[in-house]
Amino acid sequence: MLRFDTLIIGSGLAGLTLAIKLAEQQKVAIITKKSLLDGASGWAQGGIAAVLSADDSLDAHVQDTLTAGAGLCDEAATRYVVEHGKLSIDWLIEQGVPFTKDSSSGMGYHLTREGGHSRRRIIHAADATGHAVQETLATRVLKHPNITVLEHHMSVDLITSKKLNLPGNFCYGVYALNTASDEVVTIAASNTILATGGTGKVYLYTTNPDTATGDGIAMAWRAGCRIANMEFIQFHPTCLYHPHAKSFLISEAVRGEGGILKLPDGKRFMPNHDERAELAPRDVVARAIDFEMKKHGLDCVYLDISHQPEKFLQEHFPNIYARCMDLGIDISKEAIPVVPAAHYTCGGVVADIHARTDVKNLYAVGETSYSGLHGANRLASNSLLECLVFADAAVKDILSKPRQNIPKLPAWDESRVTDADEQIVISHNWAELRHFMWDYVGIVRTNKRLQRAQHRIQLLQDEINEYYANFHISSDLLELRNLVMNAELIVQSALLRHESRGLHSSKDYPDLQTNPQPTILTPGNYR
């Protein structure tokens, strides 16, 4: 049995920030199911939102977030995050993150603007902010003597007092599959933090990496945690449409710097849908594109930034420029073909202002959590900010309390299972799940579509649970099991929301309710 003061599951921005800050006083482990830099944080292009300039204000950032969240943000949590934004950015600068400089600005860094923001407040490292931040922090993590990194370890399930038939409601660590050796190891910890990201891979088209399978959300649900607002899946409006692109995102900042959405005939359409046009929040833009594609029978629409000078594009969007050029698209001369794709999970594990969940000594930070910040729709570039602020909050809470005693934990028992005879069951179920979630639980929903999805999910769950009970586990089986659980939570949440708000658009309930509340699912009271 491995033992640590704090175990962090996930190596995105939240996980790396937690590790660096906790390691000054604790022995810390990060487990990640692939390599250290394979999470979604490294894919973030646009930047991090924070109040950094003299012509901006905390109230303006709070209001922009509340407006995007469409009446479902927790205002106290929102203000807490915004008020701690500058401290978080200052910490990243101290770590050496190479944000794009601008000598003409009062604070020395270039700030861009994205949809839903009333000011320029997005600090960035060209168009690869997540990569720059992750590379910088990973270097520090790998050098720190108090941090153990366990790559290629896939979490199986949390170890809780209830599962061990012990009194109380505590988390003691996790069982994890070492995918290199196919062994399940027991990892004990006084504190366990879920920083596993979202569940984008439950959909056929997504901007997320292959690791985004909702593992933390599913494990927390099985451990007895409440899950909230899973109906609010953000579809990024502009994913590059190309057979060889594989989920390449065209940053929000392209529209922030003047990019215009057009039909194939060159006609602009966003002003017909919203007075903010291309700078409307993501849900508005994604629905508008979806509407135009269905209306005209299109495979994609086009994002045109070619009116900007080539030098400007190469400086501000070097990775987008280079990737498109590799695919034969010169963005300085032609428009970029784009489609919406599943991008961000606004709901997740219910966590308080200290990132604590319903299970003691279990925390949730980042996209896997529901902090109340995003409401019915996340404001662009608030995601990395949430990771930073709540990671710091969790660190303070962990370091302020006495260390938890851990009982002797049993080893993983696989004495009653055998080797699987057919792996094809897993791949077929995975494909079926992602297709029907895209068709029935996508940008626009109906009760009938949701009920069809619910029926198929139940059939898949029965099949997967039988497979899980009888055969040796694999990473593919674990991910499929978690994705199906996330799909069930998404559909159940969507069926409970009888209105169209933010990212949840229902043809059966097109109007807004007057007193909206978060959708909170509680284990035991679920069905």
C-alpha distances out from residue 13 to 17, 237, 351, Å: 6, 23, 18
Q: Which amino acid is at 237?
A: P
Q: Looking at residue 525, what DSSP letter applies?
A: S
Please tell me the distance from the alpha carbon of residue 387 to that of residue 393, in angstroms, as a whole number: 10
CB 228 within 8 A of CB 518: yes
DSSP 404: P
Q: Which of 113, 121, 282, 287 is catalytic?
A: 282
Contacts of 165 by beta carbon, 8 Å cutoff, 6+ apart: none
| DSSP-based three-state secondary structure for 305 | coil
Based on C-alpha coordinates, what's the Rg of the chain? Answer: 22
Whole-number Å distance between alpha carbons of 488 and 496: 12
d(CA 14, CA 292): 37
> Which tokens in the block code for residue 136?
């910088």
Q: Is 120 a catalytic residue?
A: no
From the DSSP assignment, how many helices (H) and strands (E) are in the chain?
A: 14, 20
What amino acid occupies position 353?
A: I
For residue 236, the SS3 value is strand
- Closest CA relative to residue 293, chosen from 379, 363, 356, 235: 235
Nearest-angstrom CA–CA distance, 41 and 71 = 27
Instruction: Write out the catalytic residue numbers.
Output: 282
